[in-house]
Structure 1
Amino acid sequence: MTISAPNPALPSPISQRIFSRKELIPPRQDLLWKIERGAVRTFTWSEQGTLITLGYWGTDDVVGYPLSRVNPYQIECLTSVEMSLLPAGFWHQAVDAMLLHIQQSEELLSIVHRKPVSMRLWHFLIWLSEKFGREVEQGRLIDLAITHQEIAEVINTTRVSVTRLLQQFEEEGMLLRHQRRLILCLIK
């Protein structure tokens, strides 16, 4: 579905699209996508077929094929997503969002190289809580449905290890589970 809607940060009218959960964003080398609502992940895969997550992106982030030299490159919707198209002639209006994209990519890169795996997982959960979280009575709720397998793909470990470590974190009082979501019990 394509609609036009005014947006003070971008030229008007802007073409907007709504994508369903698990839908792939069509590859376009001539435009970027500004996320108005929802969450996506960018990924590639190795020669052996192993999925490699490149990033998680949410409201106000800019994503797109022109931001990457990785091939293959995919953008997958993790939720229902509403996006605005940003043609090449207007990229200068998204400089702040592109700088944030670089910063978040580097944060994630630093996380995936931490050792041991338990530290890597914990820092990834904190990163997710800062990006997709909100304060609740018990701590910080990660308001994004993410599977143990998806977490494992990001931090380069197995699903079994993620499950075991999440159980350990729960036993240690570091996190709670609430309706298929995680709440980090962070010290304030």
Structure 2
Amino acid sequence: MSWRLHEGYVRTTTWDLDGESITLGLWGPGDVISSEHPALEPVELQCLTTVVVEHLVLSGEDERRYLRRERQMLAELHTIHRIRSGEQRLLALLSWIGRSFGQVNSHGCRLSLSELNLTHRALADLCGLTRVTVTKLLSRFRLEGRLISVSDSDLLIPSQP
């Protein structure tokens, strides 16, 4: 089955042999999600927030466009996951989430962790760190000015000069 996501956010995951969750994608409003012909099995679609979807029957062109988007997202997440430094990996993940689901302006990239329902635990799962490490790094990034708190859960990743 395939769906167009009108509202909300969905995460697709699979598991490794030790039962650890591996994120395959994050999907937001306007994205198409399909459970047809998964590249890996098992695959779980997890609603991060309340979602509104529309059932779709994909045409050949729509399916190719969906597969290109999925392949691009997998490549981006894989590239982030291969960054050795946990600090740089988390910053790269936050930047990717901001570019994909946030608001980009001349000041930088604004993202809302609460809108996406991304807790520190969820961020840790996404980038292969512990929740404690993510919490410490987020605090340090704020102190260093690499992240600016816009509200309780909104962050601004300043543009690089």
TM > 0.5 between the two? yes
1:96 aligns with: 65
1:12 aligns with: none
- Which sits farther off after the overlay, 142-151 or 95-104? 95-104
CA RMSD of superposed structures (Å)? 2.0
2:100 aligns with: 131
**Out of 58, 66, 91, which is 1:122 matched to?**
91
Q: What secondary structure does 2:14 align onto?
A: strand
Higher-Rg structure is: 1
Once the two structures are TM-superposed, the CA of residue 186 in structure 1 deviates from its matched residue by 2.2
Which segments of 5 or more consecutive residues in structure 2 lack a partner in the other structure?
Answer: none
AA in 1 matched with 2:155:
L
- The answer to whether the aligner puts 1:148 opposite 2:117 as a matched pair is no
- The answer to whether the aligner puts 1:63 opposite 2:21 as a matched pair is no
Contact 2:25-2:70 at 8 Å conserved across structures: no
CA distance in 2 between partners of 1:74 and 1:91 (Å): 24
Q: What secondary structure does 2:36 align onto?
A: helix
1:51 aligns with: 21
AA in 2 matched with 1:152:
A
CA distance in 2 between partners of 1:67 and 1:142 (Å): 32
Deviation string 1:72-112 (CA, Å, 9 cap, x unpaired) is: 21111112211121235x35334323312211111111111
Contact 2:24-2:74 at 8 Å conserved across structures: yes
User: Normalised by the size of structure 1, how large is the TM-score?
Assistant: 0.75
**Which aligned pairs between 1:71-90 and structure 2 lie closer than 5 A?**
71-87=41-57, 90=59
AA in 2 matched with 1:180:
S
**Percentage of matched positions with identical amino acids:** 31
Which segments of 5 or more consecutive residues in structure 1 lack a partner in the other structure?
Answer: 1-30
1:174 aligns with: 146
Q: What secondary structure does 1:33 align onto?
A: strand
Q: How has the CA–CA distance of structure 1 residues 94 and 69 changed in structure 2, closer, same or farther, with 3 Å as cutoff?
A: closer
Q: Matched residue pairs, number?
A: 157
Once the two structures are TM-superposed, the CA of residue 138 in structure 1 deviates from its matched residue by 6.0
CA distance in 1 between partners of 2:75 and 2:106 (Å): 31
CA distance in 2 between partners of 1:115 and 1:43 (Å): 22
CA distance in 2 between partners of 1:35 and 1:169 (Å): 32
2:6 aligns with: 36
